[in-house]
Structure 1
Amino acid sequence: MADASEPLKIGETEGGVAKEKSCAGRLGLSHLSGWRTAALLLSLFLCLLVVFAFSFILPCPVRPQYHSSWNHTLPDAVTYDFLAVEDTNEDKVLDVFFIYKDADASRNTCLAADLFAPCLVLTAVDGTDGKPLWERALAPEFDWVECGVKGLGRKGKSGCLVAHADNLTAIDKQSGGIMWQRPRSPVINGNLPLINFPDLNSDGKEDFAVLTYNPEATSFTPTPTELVFFSGQSGDQIGSRVDVEVIGIFAHLQFRTSNGAPYLLLLTDSGLYAVSLGRLAVLAGLDSGMKRERSWEETSDDHNGFVALYPSASLKRVLTVYGSGSPASLLIQTDSSISLLHTDSLKMAWSTNTSALLSTPTFGQFDKDGFPDIMIEENTGNNSKRVRVLSGRSGDVLWQVDLLSWTSNPRPASVLTLNTYSVFMLWGQSHSNQTNEKHSSFLLHPRYAKLLLERRSSAHNIVSFKATLLERGRHAAYLVLSGPDGRQHSSNSEPVILSKRKIKMDVRESKVYGVSSEEPISEDAESSVREAFHRLRFSDTQ
C-alpha cells in the first residue's frame, strides 16, 4: 500500500492514467489562463477607448482668459452711483452692471426701444474684457436700481429691478430682456426695495416690497409712510397697502436676526426702530409665515409693534456687521460717535468718539481675531482726513494715517485673503503729492501696517468704486466708474469711463509711502512689502 503521506506517489503507482489526467488538467488551466489574459486586455482596450472618446466628446472646461485691465468708454454721457457684479454669461467670471444716460452713443438703442434720446441705458459688460454683453434702454428719469433680486418673471429668474420715470421694470440679468414693466403709481416716491421675500401669494416665486417715504418732508408737508408688496413673478401689487405710522424716516434697512426672523429697520429723526416684516405682511392680508424674534417682540410697542433699538436725535447711518460664527450686529453712526449694538442682547458692545465722517465705513479683517474691523475716514479740516481702523471687538484704534482729501472721495474697500486678514484700498493724496494734480489710490497690508503702496491715478470725478473677486477664489480686482454725475444734472461734455484693474497690477506701479513720514524706508522693507502683496491669495468668504 502506498504511503498516504506522499500523495504524489499515488499517482505514479496508477500508471499513465494518472499522468494523462495531470496533463489534461494542466492543459485546461493553460486555456483558462489564456482566456483570462485576453479578457483583461480587451477590458483595458475598451477602457482606453472610452477615455479617448470622452476626451474628444467632453473636453476639459477652458478657464476664461481675462485682461488684467480694461476700459469701457462712453463719450459725452452722464452716469450714476451704481455698480453691481453678477455672472451674466455663465462663464464663472462676474460681469459688471452700470447705468448711464447719453444722447449720441445710445441713440440707436433708444430708438429701437421707441424712446427719445437721451434715454437711460442699463448695461452689462463682460468682466473678462469690458465688452458689452447687452444694453437695455429705459425711459428717464432714473430713481434707483437693485440687482440680485430673485423670483422675477414666470421662470423666477434673478434680475435687476429698476425704478425710472413712472415705471417699475424687471430685467433679466442674462439677456437684458424686460420680464415685466408696471406703473409704479402705488410707490411713486418709493425708496430702495426690500427684496427676496418668501412666497407671499402662493405662486412659487419670491416677492418683494417697496417702502414709500420722503426724507425731505416737513411737519407742514408730511408724507405717509407706506409699505406695498409686489409679486416677483408679475410685478402686480399683492395685498393691501400698509401704513407704517412713522414720520421723520430718512433711511431704511432690511435685517435678519440670528434665528432667521426678517425685520425692517427704520432710521428716523428720533432714533433707530425695528418692526417685524411678518407683522407688516399680515397687516397687508398676506399669510407669510415669517418668523419673529421673541426677545425683540417682548420690548415692542403693543400698538404698532415697533422696537426701539437706539434712541438718538443725531443718527446718521446704520450698517449690518456679519461676524464669524456670531449673530449679526449693527454699527450705528451718529454726528460724533460710532457704536456697535449686539442684536441678540440689544446691548452696546462699545462706543468710540469720532469727528464727522467723509464716507461710509468699510469692514475687513485687520487683526485676525475673527471680528470684522472698521475703516473710517474722519474730516480733519483744510482738505485733510484721518483714516482709521477700529477694532470690531473693542472699538480701539488699531491703525491710522493722515492724508489729503478731495470732494468726490470714494469710500475705502477691502478684499479678504486666505490668511484670514484683508487687504484694504483707499483714496486720497499723500503729503508728498501736494503739487501734483493726480490723486492716489493706496493699498494697505495689515502685516506691513507702517507702509502703504501709493499709485497716482489719472481718474477724476469718480462716481462709484468697488473692489471684489471676479472669480471664485481669484481675480481680485477693483472697478472705477468716473464721469459727470447724472444726479447733479451735469451738462459737462465729458466721457463716462468704467475701468477694471487687477489689484496686483498696482503693486509694481506704486511707490512705497511711509505712514509716519519721520521714519525712513529701507530697501529691504520696500522689497518685503511688495513681495507680500505678490504672494497674496484671496478668499470668497465675507
Structure 2
Amino acid sequence: MMDNKDLEAEIHPLKNEDKKSQENPGNLPRNEDNLKSKPVPSRLSRCRTVAFFLSLFTCLFVVFVLSFIIPCPDRPSSQGTWKLDYNNAGFSTPCAFVVAVSGANGSVLWERPVAQDVALVKCAMPQTLDSDEVSSACIVVGRAGSFVAVSFFTGETLWSHPSSFSGNVSILSPLLQVPDIDGDGDGTPDLLILAQEGQEVSGALYSGSTGYQIGHRGSLGVDGDGVALLHVTRTGAQYILLPCASALCGFSVKSLYERITGRDGHFKEDPYWENMLNHSVHRRLLHRLGAVRYLMNIPGKAGQDLLLVTSEACVLLDGQDLEPRWTLGEVQVLRKPILGHYKPDTLAVVIENGTSIDRQILLLDLSTGSILWSQPLPSLPGGPPSTSLMTADHRSAFFFWGLHDLVSTNEMDPPDVQHSLYMFHPTLPGILLELANVSANIVAFDAVLLEPSRHAAYVLLTGPASSDVPGLVSVTKHKVQDLVPGSRVIHLGEGSSDSDQAIRDRFSRLRYRSEM
C-alpha cells in the first residue's frame, strides 16, 4: 500500500516537483539557471517581429479591399422553370437551325442555320470545361450533301464539306464514331456514315478533326434495313451490326477500312466472328429472328453484351459468342428499352410492352431477365419515351409518360387527352408520383442532371402535331424538386402506410448523381 505522500506524488507529479524545488532552492537544474540568465531580446529582433506583422496586416488589408472593389463575374441565375417559344415555326422547314440554350435560365447562347433537309445530327457534350472544340461539337449531315461541324461552345463552323452521298440514297442512323484512324494523331474519333441505295448498304469514313473523307465509299455487301450499331467483341475487334430481313448482319470495321482505302489499318478482326461470317450467306450472324426492331450495347462483366428486340421476343445475347443469356418471349415492345438501376449498382432494363392503350411497364433484372416490377400504364400512340436518372443511393429514378388518371382513350376525345408525367423510385415500389400534365403535342423529352448531386430537371419540346404545318414550338425546363410538393401521390395497391406528404418529402430528399 502507498502512503499518503506517495499517492499525492503520483496524482500530482508536477506539484511534487515544485515542492522539492522549494525545499532545495540551491539545487536548481542547469537549464533553469540558463533560462534565468538569458539576455533580453535585442532591438533588431523586435524590429523584425514588427516588420513581419506589419507586412501580414498589409497583405490581408489589400485582399480585403480588393474583394469589394473588384466584383466577381456574374453567374447566370438558375431558374427552376423557364420556357422558350418560337412562333410560326415548324420541323420540316427548308432550312434547319441549331440553337444552344442555357440550362440555367433558358437564354439563347447561340443560334445559326446549318443545313437543308437534315438527315442526321450528333452532338458531343463537353465532358470538362477545358474540352477542345473538335471533341465537343454538333455534326450535321444534310440529305442534299452538306456535312458540317459546329462548335458546341460558340456555334461557329469548325469545318464544312459536301458529302459523297447523292440525293437518291437513304442515310441510315445513327452517325457512328470509330477510333482515330486518319493518322493525324489528335485522338478525335472519326465518323462513319452508312447509306442504303436500293438493297445495298455502303459506308464512308470521315476525319473527325477536318471533315475530309478518308478513301472512297465502300459496299458492306449486306442488305440492311434498320438502325446500325457499332459493337466491340471481347478481343477488341469492332463490327458494324445491321438488321437485315429476319437476321442480323455484321461487317468488320477493319474490312471496311481496307476496302475504301486500299491499305492495311490498325484495326482488329475477331477470328470467332470471321468464322461465323465466312460460313454464312450475305454475312449473316443470326438467322430466323423475326423483324429486328431495336439493337443495343449493354455493359457486361467482361465487355459489351447485346440486347436484341424483335417483333416476337426480347433477348440478351452474349457479346462474344452471341448465345442467349435469357429470353423474354411473347412481347410486343412499344419503344426502345432504357437502362436504369432498380437495385443498387445493378443494371435493369425497362421494357414497354403492349400497344399503347394496353401498355405495361416491365423492369427486368438485366443479368437474369426476371421481372423486378411491373405496372399497367396506358399511353397514347407515339407518346414520349421513358427515361431514368441515377440517384445518390445507386438506384435510379424512373420517369414514365402515361394518360392522366390512367383512363382509356376509348372514353375520351383524343385531342382532349392529357399526357401525365409519372415518377417512380424503387424504394417505394407501391407509389407513382404524378408530376405534371401536358395537353400540347410532345415532340421530345428527356430528364437531365444540370447540376451534379442536386439539380435534376426535365426538358420538354412541344410543337405542331403535323411536321408540315408551322405553329408554336416551345422548349420548357422544369426542376423536378420544385414539382414534387404539388404532385399527386398514386397508390398502386397495399403498400406504404406513410401519409402522402411524408411520401412527397421522401421524393424531395432524393439526390442525384452522374453515372460517369
Give the TM-score, by structure 2 length. 0.80
Seen in structure 2, the aligned counterparts of structure 1 residues 149 and 187 have a Cα distance that, compared at 3 Å, is farther
Q: Is the 8 A contact 1:467 1:479 kept in 2?
A: yes
Which residue identity lines up with residue 374 of structure 1 in the other structure?
Answer: V
| 1:508 Cα offset (Å) | 1.9
| CA distance in 2: counterparts of 1:66 and 1:261, whole angstroms | 45
For 1:389, which of 363, 366, 387 is the aligned residue?
363
Is structure 2 residue 337 aligned with structure 1 residue 366?
no
Residue 180 of structure 2 corresponds to: 198
Percent of residue pairs identical:
30
Aligned to 1:452: 432
Task: Provide the secondary structure at the position in 1 that maps to 2:266.
Answer: coil
Name stretches of at least 5 consecutive residues in structure 2 with no aligned partner: 1-25, 31-35, 127-131
Q: Which residue of 2 aligns with 1:178?
A: 157
| Cα distance change, pair 429–7 in 1 and its aligned pair in 2 (3 A) | closer
Answering whether residue 50 of structure 2 is matched by residue 68 of structure 1, we say: no
Amino acid at match of 1:143: A
Q: Is the contact between residue 294 and residue 309 of structure 2 (CA under 8 Å) also seen in structure 1?
A: yes
Match of residue 263, structure 1, among 239, 243, 247:
239
Superposition pairs of residues 14-33 of structure 1, within 5 angstroms: 26-27=39-40, 29-31=41-43, 33=45
Structure 1 residues 388 and 335: alpha-carbon distance in aligned structure 2, compared to 1, 3 A threshold? same
The 8 Å contact of residues 314 and 327 in structure 2, kept in 1 or not, is answered as yes
Tell whether the 8 Å contact from 2:307 to 2:314 is kept in structure 1 after alignment: yes
Paired letter, 1:160: C
Amino acid paired to 1:183: P
In 1: Cα distance, 2:453 partner to 2:351 partner: 27
How far apart, in 1, do the equivalents of 2:367 and 2:226 lie?
A: 29
Distance 1:256 1:364 in 2: 22
2:125 aligned with 1:146:
no
> Over aligned residues, Cα RMSD in angstroms?
3.5
CA distance in 2, matches of 1:179, 1:304: 42
Task: Look up the equivalent residue of 1:276 and give its one-letter code.
Answer: S
Kindly state the Cα deviation for residue 142 of structure 1 after the two structures are TM-superposed: 2.4
Equivalent position amino acid for 1:26 in 2: P
Please report how far the alpha carbon of residue 528 of structure 1 lies from its aligned counterpart in structure 2 after TM superposition: 3.1
Q: Secondary structure at the match of 1:366?
A: strand
1:378-527 superposed matches below 5 A: 378-379=353-354, 383-431=357-405, 433=407, 437-484=417-464, 489-491=467-469, 493-516=470-493, 519=494, 524-527=498-501
The alpha carbon displacement at 1:438 in A equals 2.0
Task: Read off the aligned partner of 2:351 and give its amino acid letter.
Answer: I
Q: CA contact under 8 A between 2:176 and 2:230: conserved in structure 1?
A: yes
Q: Which has the higher contact order (CA 8 A, sep 6+)?
A: 1
Would you say the 8 A contact 2:206–2:213 is kept in 1?
A: yes
Residue 351 of structure 2, aligned match among 372, 376, 383: 376
Provide closer, same or farther for how the CA distance between residues 59 and 331 of structure 1 changes in structure 2, counting only shifts above 3 A: farther
Partner of 2:195: 212
Q: CA deviation at 1:521?
A: 7.6
Matched, 1:137 2:137: no
One-letter amino acid of the counterpart of residue 295, structure 2: V
Equivalent in 292, 301, 322 of residue 315 of structure 1: 292
Deviations 1:514-533 (A, max 9, x none): 223xx4985x2423321211
Q: Is there any run of 5+ residues in structure 1 with no aligned partner, and where?
A: 1-5, 11-21, 80-99, 102-117, 215-221
Q: Aligned residue for 1:289?
A: 266
Q: Give 2:223's aligned residue.
A: 247
Instruction: Give distance in 2, aligned partners of 1:432 and 1:139.
Output: 41
Structure 2: distance between partners of 1:385 and 1:206: 39
| C-alpha contact 2:201 2:224 (8 A) present in aligned 1 | no
Q: How many residue pairs get matched?
A: 470
Partner of 1:228, secondary structure, is: strand
Secondary structure of 2:366 counterpart: coil
- List per-residue Cα deviations over 1:280-316 (Å, max 9, x = no partner): 2122225542344455445442899957257523322
